[in-house]
């Protein structure tokens, strides 16, 4: 069995690490080919992963996003080696690691429950991986100090994990996983146990640490804001399958299908029939008899019935009679910086509209108001089937 050497020396932190995009030409850090995992067998078998295939680039902040039970943790555990896959290939920098045991993979994990060793102090925890790798004592000492500094936990070096708050334990868990300078760092919802403020602060910090250490991060979350704000690229998963892989903008602006569009952010879906030739812009007739111009980039030739997709903040409201169609405000949700409204336009479902509260003179909406609804033909997209 081949042993993959974890990065032989602890490379000093690179304050100006090249961004993922610049280095994307290199070999992928992780390649997944048709990875399958079935728990149990017979009647109680659960297919947690059904043919997952995608690449993760070197030095990338990559996020696995999906609803509860979609197989994110299973995929991460397969990468760490805790779970043996039922089929497929996992390559780490070109080498198939499916049969490499956990302790020989140059991959470290930040556990959701932190899983710090309760009988070791903070610095012993951080030093643990380096000790197992038989690094010289003085190198261990300097790396531990460096890591504790990186996560701002120097003052707590001699504490036991039980004497730390949740946020502090989380930092130690991060330092412990980073200390051996793995080629890939796996993080399973590391922020989910923290309160909102701390979570937002940690997002920035994690992102910064990723840039400084130039380690490939694979981050699991079911929180779309977290995914959009931190990631270089995101894989959206559902029921053991990957729905789309792309940058946050691609995922949000150009979702590949209805699941992605609906899971990442709010969305309007309108069922319609194409009435014009297929082109960059198509004309569609909705079930309610409305003629709308839409972005047809994703429409297949010869396709007739389509789902149109539109983000609520891409809809503009105008005075009555001046929009694409007139409608009536059915509900209003006041969010402080925006108002989320449902506007009935005679279609099966009301249109969800998010109006920014940026303008002081902005008219205040009330339920029952009649307004004009403006659809931008570039924002109204034909969804891929």
Partner 1 sequence: MANLPENAALRRTLALGPALAIIGIFMLIPVIIMASYSFLEAKSFGGVNWVFSGDAYVQLFYERMLDDSLRLSPGYLIIIGRSVALALVAMVCCLLVGFPVAWFIARQPLRQRNMWILLITIPFWTNQLVRTFAWIIILGRNGVIEVPFRWTGLLAPEQTLGLMYSNFAITVGLTYTFIPLMVLPIYASLEKLDFSLVEAGADLYSSRWETFSNIIIPLSKPGIIAGCLLVFIPSLGAFIQPDLLGGGKNLMLGTLVQFQFSTARNWPFGSAIAMILLAFVVVFLMLYARASRGSKSLEVH
Ligand X SMILES: Nc1ncnc2c1ncn2[C@@H]1O[C@H](COP(=O)(O)OP(=O)(O)OP(=O)(O)O)[C@@H](O)[C@H]1O
Per CB under 8 A, the segment of 10-18, 90-98, 172-180, 212-220 that binds partner 1 is: 172-180
**Distance of alpha carbon 114 from alpha carbon 119, whole angstroms:** 14
Question: Which of 119, 287 has the CB closer to partner 1?
Answer: 119
- For residue 40, what are the CA distances in angstroms to 44, 75, 79, 110, 242? 6, 16, 19, 26, 22
- In the list 5, 34, 113, 208, the residue contacting partner 1 (rule: CB under 8 A) is 113
In whole angstroms, the minimum distance from the beta carbon of 119 to partner 1 comes to 5
Question: Which of 83, 347 has the CB closer to ligand X?
Answer: 83
The interface partner of residue 107, options being partner 1, ligand X, Mg ion, none and the CB cut-off 5 to 8 Å by kind, is partner 1
Element (H, E) at 143: helix 137-150
Site membership for ligand X, residue 72 (CB under 6 A)? yes
CA 89 from centroid of its chain's CA atoms: 23
Rule CB under 8 A: which of 118-157 touch partner 1?
Answer: 118-119, 128-129, 132-133
- Show the CA angle centred on residue 319, arms to residues 314 and 320, nearest 5°: 105
**Distance of alpha carbon 231 from alpha carbon 96, whole angstroms:** 26
Site membership for Mg ion, residue 73 (CB under 5 A)? yes
Per CB under 6 A, the segment of 63-71, 115-123, 149-157, 289-297 that binds ligand X is: 63-71
- What's the token pair of residue 96? 């198939």
Q: Residue with structure tokens 């509209």?
A: 353
- Report the 10 Å Cβ neighbour count for 309: 26
256 phi and psi angles, rounded to 5 deg: -75, -30
In whole angstroms, the minimum distance from the beta carbon of 187 to Mg ion comes to 11
Question: Which of 81, 246 has the CB closer to partner 1?
Answer: 81
Site membership for partner 1, residue 197 (CB under 8 A)? no
- In the list 19, 115, 247, 303, the residue contacting partner 1 (rule: CB under 8 A) is 115
In whole angstroms, the minimum distance from the beta carbon of 220 to Mg ion comes to 6
Question: Which of 217, 309 has the CB closer to partner 1?
Answer: 217
87 phi and psi angles, rounded to 5 deg: -170, 165
In whole angstroms, the minimum distance from the beta carbon of 368 to partner 1 comes to 55
**Distance of alpha carbon 113 from alpha carbon 188, whole angstroms:** 9
The string of DSSP letters for 163-189 reads GS-HHHHHHHHHHHHHTT--SEEEEES
Per CB under 5 A, the segment of 33-41, 67-75, 259-267, 341-349 that binds Mg ion is: 67-75
Per CB under 6 A, the segment of 62-70, 90-98, 163-171, 287-295 that binds ligand X is: 62-70
Per CB under 6 A, the segment of 25-33, 40-48, 179-187, 369-377 that binds ligand X is: 40-48
Question: Which of 188, 384 has the CB closer to ligand X?
Answer: 188
Binding mask 58-87 for partner 1 (x = CB under 8 A): ----------------------xxx-----
Element (H, E) at 87: strand 87-92
Site membership for partner 1, residue 190 (CB under 8 A)? no
Q: Residue with structure tokens 């961004």?
A: 19
**In 3-state terms, what secondary structure has residue 258?**
helix
Per CB under 8 A, the segment of 26-34, 40-48, 98-106, 276-284 that binds partner 1 is: 98-106
- In the list 59, 63, 109, 243, the residue contacting partner 1 (rule: CB under 8 A) is 109
- For residue 299, what are the CA distances in angstroms to 7, 229, 240, 284, 295? 47, 29, 27, 12, 9
Exposure letters 123-132 (e unless 16+ CB within 10 A, then b): bbbbbbbbee
Residues at the site binding Mg ion, with contacts judged by CB under 5 A = 73
Residues at the site binding ligand X, with contacts judged by CB under 6 A = 39-40, 46, 48, 66, 68-74, 222
């Amino acid at each position: 069995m081949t042993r993959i050497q974890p990065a032989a020396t602890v490379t000093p932190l690179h304050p100006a690490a090249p961004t993922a995009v610049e280095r994307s030409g290199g070999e992928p850090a992780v390649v997944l080919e048709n990875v399958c995992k079935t728990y149990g067998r017979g009647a109680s078998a659960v297919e947690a992963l059904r043919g997952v295939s995608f690449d993760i680039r070197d030095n990338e902040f990559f996020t696995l996003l999906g609803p509860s039970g979609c197989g994110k943790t299973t995929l991460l555990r397969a990468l760490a080696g805790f779970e043996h896959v039922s089929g497929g290939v996992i390559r780490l920098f070109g080498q198939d690691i499916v049969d490499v045991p956990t302790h020989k993979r140059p991959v470290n994990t930040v556990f959701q429950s932190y899983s710090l060793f309760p009988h070791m102090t903070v610095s012993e925890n951080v030093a643990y991986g380096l000790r197992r790798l038989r690094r010289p004592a003085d190198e261990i000492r300097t790396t531990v100090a460096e890591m504790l500094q990186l996560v701002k936990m120097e003052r707590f070096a001699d504490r036991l994990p039980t004497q730390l708050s949740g946020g502090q334990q989380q930092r130690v868990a991060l330092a412990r996983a980073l200390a051996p300078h793995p080629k890939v760092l796996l993080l399973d919802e590391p922020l989910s146990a923290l309160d909102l403020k701390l979570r937002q602060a940690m997002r920035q910090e994690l992102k910064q640490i990723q840039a400084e250490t130039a380690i490939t991060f694979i981050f699991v979350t079911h929180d779309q804001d977290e995914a959009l704000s931190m990631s270089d690229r995101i894989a959206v998963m559902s029921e053991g399958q990957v729905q789309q892989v792309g940058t946050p903008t691609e995922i949000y602006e150009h979702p590949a299908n209805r699941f992605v569009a609906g899971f990442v952010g709010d969305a309007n879906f309108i069922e319609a029939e194409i009435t014009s030739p297929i082109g960059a812009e198509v004309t569609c007739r909705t079930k309610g008899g409305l003629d709308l111009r839409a972005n047809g980039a994703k429409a297949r030739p010869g396709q007739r019935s389509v789902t149109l997709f539109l983000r609520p903040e891409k809809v503009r409201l105008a005075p009555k009679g001046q929009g694409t169609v007139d409608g009536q405000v059915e509900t209003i949700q006041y969010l402080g910086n925006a108002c989320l409204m449902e506007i009935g336009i005679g279609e099966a479902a009301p249109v969800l509209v998010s109006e920014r509260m940026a303008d002081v003179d902005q008219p205040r909406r009330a339920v029952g108001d009649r307004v004009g609804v403006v659809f931008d033909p570039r924002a109204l997209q034909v969804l891929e089937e």
